[in-house]
Structure 1
């Protein structure tokens, strides 16, 4: 394919359209008829190089919870069983049983949610396995928006088990407080405080929550989808259960972003240590790298993500 990569669209393409110009809020064809990467296309080589220049202190933050967390596992999943055994050669090996790639800190792949009206991203299905992300890798500028702290400063505390919608205006307020600009390809990390709340909960509260409960999160609206798309966000990851506020409506933010825009969503990310560091030094941007699990046709993947400042 000839031409130079367009930082605001697919290689050789016209500039990426605004959300209001997308028919039915769908990005079908924007990055090419056979595209399987969606907004990850916005993580161009130039964007990755710029993100690498953000590394100054060398501090590294793993953004992954243990594979057996939350405990007990959510949505009737079975607990992960870790077995260590000695091989015939005498060395140790191990294996995991009941390992769900989307049970802990994870990415939702494009096949995770099917839009009831328009199907999967870019009109495809089997071709949308998370293995495409794995072969490419995810790398770019990470931007932490500490919405939990920003809203607490206005008297709006986010309880981990109460449904509260975070609006596009709330995200913009947190962005302004963080002092970061908008760049195509950014991985937006949204801290609600859900992880800290869950960790502080009693065993009884966690057990009651495992079959599904309320959660603060992004407002499931076209206004939110517009804000994310027009920013040029490459992916969104949060510390809560579903990125969006739960329970979700019939047309959820997953439908509006994952299915229609091809915008990857990450859930249950481990953001507390990174958020504390950002609060200390006032720097809310970093290099973010994620290596999804290379499972052919995979529906989702552990995050395998690190932030480097």
Structure 2
């Protein structure tokens, strides 16, 4: 792993691209910030030993908001039985379903003809993360609860924006810092709204006019995430940023140009309640992506340990 002691500010990155910053061939991106020292410090955050899975069911969400306009369908579970044993086969496992990571092969830079860090080899995918594993200090910003406390409840059925000021003020209210190497989890409230709605309501929303809130797509947000040293960012919503997408497209900027992993559809409600009760919002975070060569995404397999 290549360590960069003094990373340039976002404003100083040529074209907003971190090409070659951690080396010419690396595929870890901002995960390089999860140094052994930072992982050890994150382990010291474990106090009660409570474990929170951040992984929704493989059938979540049902129905998928994009099911009307894409191939996103839940997997099929087939059990192979013999007299003495049972084996499972998951057919049609779509990595854009359930709690998942978007890998660096998920978005291609058409202008430069490459993926993250100038990579043009589509056989080099998320296995780089899997071979290393992901562990470090996680921070939950419970923006949904904080906005409600401010009298500004965010409607999960709209494409409302969470601003940089919202993230900063929420962090300040929670008494937590976003330091270099932070794995940032953002609760928008989308999970709560979706799971509490009836199936009929959810199905009615799964149209070509589907909308969901998220972090504002702006140079200011990119600068905030990069300059804060965020190693990865995930949320409980469909696309991290608001949907429908608008410019700038955060997926391209975060994944392709900056090398910051994106997580979507994460189960954060139980963790949020526990953090509120404990009065602290940082914890040991771990994730084990699938070791699938050349893959563009993976189930999150993520845990938060308080």
The residue number in structure 1 matching 2:51 is 60
Cα distance between partner residues in 2 of 1:207 and 1:180: 37
Cα distance between partner residues in 1 of 2:124 and 2:202: 34
8 Å contact kept, 1:110–1:128: no
Cα distance between partner residues in 2 of 1:191 and 1:78: 24
The residue number in structure 1 matching 2:42 is 51
Residues 99-119 of structure 1 show CA distances to partners (whole Å, capped at 9, x for unaligned) of: 112200000001111234344
Q: CA deviation at 1:211?
A: 4.4
Cα distance between partner residues in 2 of 1:117 and 1:185: 30
Classify the secondary structure of the residue corresponding to 2:41: helix
Q: Pick from 144, 147, 171 the counterpart of residue 148 of structure 1.
A: 144
Q: Pick from 166, 170, 184 the counterpart of residue 170 of structure 1.
A: 166
Q: CA RMSD in A?
A: 1.5
Q: Pick from 78, 84, 91 the counterpart of residue 83 of structure 1.
A: 78
Within 5 Å, which residues of 2 pair with 1:1-150? 10-11=2-3, 13=4, 15-76=6-67, 77-87=72-82, 90-118=84-112, 119-125=114-120, 126=122, 128-150=124-146
Q: CA deviation at 1:250?
A: 4.3
Cα distance between partner residues in 1 of 2:109 and 2:164: 22
Classify the secondary structure of the residue corresponding to 1:24: helix
Q: TM-score by structure 1 length?
A: 0.93
Cα distance between partner residues in 1 of 2:249 and 2:261: 14
Cα distance between partner residues in 1 of 2:206 and 2:124: 29
Stretches of structure 1 lacking an aligned partner (at least 5 in a row): none
Instruction: Quickly say closer, same or farther: Cα 1:257–1:23, change in 2 above 3 A.
Output: same
Q: CA deviation at 1:204?
A: 2.4
Q: CA deviation at 1:148?
A: 0.6
The residue number in structure 2 matching 1:269 is 266
Classify the secondary structure of the residue corresponding to 1:260: helix
Q: Pick from 174, 177, 180 the counterpart of residue 181 of structure 1.
A: 177
Cα distance between partner residues in 2 of 1:148 and 1:42: 28
Instruction: Quickly say closer, same or farther: Cα 1:295–1:74, change in 2 above 3 A.
Output: farther
8 Å contact kept, 1:74–1:103: no
Classify the secondary structure of the residue corresponding to 1:67: coil
Judge which range, 210-219 or 240-249, deviates more. Answer: 210-219
Residues 264-306 of structure 1 show CA distances to partners (whole Å, capped at 9, x for unaligned) of: 0000000000000111111100000000011110110000000
Q: CA deviation at 1:14?
A: 5.4
Q: TM-score by structure 2 length?
A: 0.94
8 Å contact kept, 1:28–1:121: yes
Judge which range, 132-141 or 212-221, deviates more. Answer: 212-221
8 Å contact kept, 1:68–1:104: yes
Q: CA deviation at 1:251?
A: 3.0
8 Å contact kept, 2:139–2:178: no
